[in-house]
Structure formats: C-alpha cells, structure tokens
Structure 1
Amino acid sequence: MPDSNLSFFGRLSLAMGTFFAILGNRELAAGIKRLRAGEPAAQAAPVSAPAPAPVAEPAPALKEASPVAALQLLGLLQRDARFVDFVEEDIARYADAEIGAAARLVHDGCRAVLREHFTIRPVREEAEGSRVTLADGFDASAIRLTGNVVGSAPFHGAISHRGWKVEDVRLPRLAERHDASVIAPAEVEL
C-alpha cells in the first residue's frame, strides 16, 4: 500500500509506534520536532536510524610454529635423555622400581637439555600458596584462572603453580641439508 494511502489502523499503528519510539529516543524526538517545524528533511535525524553496528575486532592472526625447532628439541631430548625411547617403551612388563630407575635417568637428561638450551624462569616470583591480587588488565596468556571464576578483575586468589616462561633459547644451528625429522638415526652395529 502506498505511504500516502494508509488505512486508519495503519495510521493508528504508526502513531502508537512513533509515540513510544519518541519517548525512548531523544535524537528521534528532536528530528521529528525539526520536521514538524518545517525544516528540510535532510537536516532532520533519520526517523528510524539503526544503531551503529559495533566494530568487530579482527581475529588475531595465528602464527605457525616452526616444526624444525620442535623436531630439533625432540632430537636433543632423545640424544641426551633417551626421551622417545622411554615414552615409546611398553612399561607394563617392568616393576615399579625398574621404571623409577629409568625415569631418574630420563629426568636427569631432560633437565640437562633444558638447562643447556633454555633460560627458564617462573612467571610469578611468589611462593606457591601465596595470596595474590590480579588487577584489571592482567596478562591472561601468562596467568590462567582456575577454580570458581566469576565476575571481573580484580581477582584474589592463591598461586597453585608459579608457571614457567622461557627468557632465552640457545638451539644449535642446523646445516642447510639436515633432516630435522630424523630425531634419532637408526643404529646398525657391524
């Protein structure tokens, strides 16, 4: 139906809707007042202007991890701690004492690799169990909230794990043709 030929009920519906819209929107009320005063429509605020859409933040770009560095670390753990051998071994047939003895050797080797190639520090310096307050804007990539997380910062809680962060990495340089996917070469005894 053309706008100039609205029925009585169409006009009544429009009037009621406009009445409540004017009560709830001061910009709309000012625009209608300008129209009734005879000002040109171009100067009036749009009668049913939609609210501006919130600007969505672009999704953060995902960085691809270097598989070569991961393979290099796995190779170092295998070389110095026999890490892959230990994890791939079916330990069900061994006694707990034998597993514990093997775990001690693997632990010592893994620790040596970490200390030689990485500088690792705690994320938080406080002792575990210490009470802390996390202010608004805390680094959520360095601190994970656990337990009954409700509301917003500041948060008050106890440190259950201090976390770890790497300050320095000292991986050896690789030859251009080195195949990092071979983390331990096969051995053939002659």
Structure 2
Amino acid sequence: MRLGLALRAFWQAMFDREVAERVALALDGVDLASSSSAKSVPAAVEQAPAKPVRQAPTQSDAIALLGALQRDGRLVDLIHENLDQYGDDQVGAAARPCLKQCRQTLDRLLAIKPLVDAENGGVIPVEADASSARLRWVGEASGASQGKVVHGGWVATQVQLPAWSGGPEDAMVIAPTQVEAP
C-alpha cells in the first residue's frame, strides 16, 4: 500500500505544483488541516518549516502508583516474598505495616472514599438506569428498585500521582535497585 501511495504522490507532485507544495508541507510536518483552503497552501510554503514537536517521556499511571506503593509500603516486596516459609503470625506482623502505609499512600494520592454511604447489609435505592461501573448486581436482580449492600464500593475523589521526569528506558521501573558500599 505504501509503495502505491508513494508512486501516486510522486506522479501527481511531478505534474501539479499545488500537490507538490502540499506534499512538501506534509513531509516537513506542517499541519495541512489548519489551512483554510488549498489556495492558501502556497503562502504557507514561504513560512519557516515547522520543527517537530518532541514529546516528553511518560510513565504509565499504573507504574507510578505501584512505584509509590512500593516506596512507601514495600507492597511489591511483600507480594513477591515466598510466604510459605513463615507462619501466619509472622505474615500478619509483616503485612500490617505494609498495608497501613499503602492505605495512607492511596488516601494521599487518590483520596479514596466509599462509593455509597451505607453499611454492608443496608438497603439502598437502585435506579433502573444505574451505571454498571457504579453498581453491580450479585445474583438475580429481576428489576428490583432496592438492593442490599454486599460491598459498598470505592471511588477515587482525586488523582495526584507523583510527577516523573525519567528517560524512556526507565518508564517501566517500579523501584530502583538499592545498593550500599561493601
């Protein structure tokens, strides 16, 4: 397909000056959609060619959040630890501070709140057109206008993930390797 397009562009540019100018602008990265008409294209040729816009490297929000949970609570360390070698009391003792720190981190970054103001077992009204992202029936619903809360759900009321300024090669790093002098 690209070969056919290239040949077509070549032949049309060869015999039509306007097409040649538009091809040149497109190759230089000039946005042709912003031009009001094909007649205005030749005037744009006289302008300096647009410099390519360089995007700053980005890191996935998921990696940023996981990195914060690892840094503050060592969550990834706990999850990847071989827990079979420890008793339940040891696992619980290790998990408690990790979970406490992770909760503080989530509250700070996402301000997590209950989705509904009702205790488990409480009855709440259910709109017929309720969003499936906000409400999920467990078992048979049969068009009921009320439902018993099995789990209240959670909602983030903000997203304030840490800013990241690394290079593209580091975008997937969750936590750096820590070293000390021997």
Answer yes or no: same fold by TM over 0.5.
yes
Q: Could you say which residue in structure 1 is the equivalent of 2:171?
A: 180
Of 150, 153, 161, 1:171 maps to 161
1:91-129 CA-to-partner distances (Å, cap 9, x unmatched) read 001011110110101111101211221111211112221
Larger CA Rg, structure 1 vs 2 = 1
Could you tell me how far apart the structure 2 residues matched to 1:67 and 1:145 are? 35
Amino acid of the structure 2 residue aligned with 1:155: S
- Percent of paired sites with the same residue: 34
Aligned residue pairs total 123
Moved over 3 A (4+): none
Tell me, which stretches of 5 or more residues in structure 1 are unaligned? 1-65
SS at the partner of 2:91? helix
Amino acid of the structure 2 residue aligned with 1:143: L
Q: Could you say which residue in structure 2 is the equivalent of 1:57?
A: none
The reply on whether 1:77 has 2:69 as its aligned counterpart is yes
Q: Which has the higher helix share?
A: 2
Question: TM-score normalised to the size of structure 1?
Answer: 0.60
Q: Could you say which residue in structure 2 is the equivalent of 1:159?
A: 149
Q: Could you say which residue in structure 2 is the equivalent of 1:91?
A: 83
Amino acid of the structure 1 residue aligned with 2:112: I
Tell me, which stretches of 5 or more residues in structure 2 are unaligned? 1-57
Q: CA RMSD in A?
A: 1.8
Superposition map of 1:3-42 within 5 A = none
Q: Could you say which residue in structure 2 is the equivalent of 1:105?
A: 97
1:133-163 CA-to-partner distances (Å, cap 9, x unmatched) read 31211122100000223x33x4332111111
Query: Of the two structures, which has the highest relative contact order with CA contacts closer than 8 Å and spacing of 6 or more?
Result: 2
1:73-99 CA-to-partner distances (Å, cap 9, x unmatched) read 111111111111100011001011110
Could you tell me how far apart the structure 2 residues matched to 1:109 and 1:133 are? 35
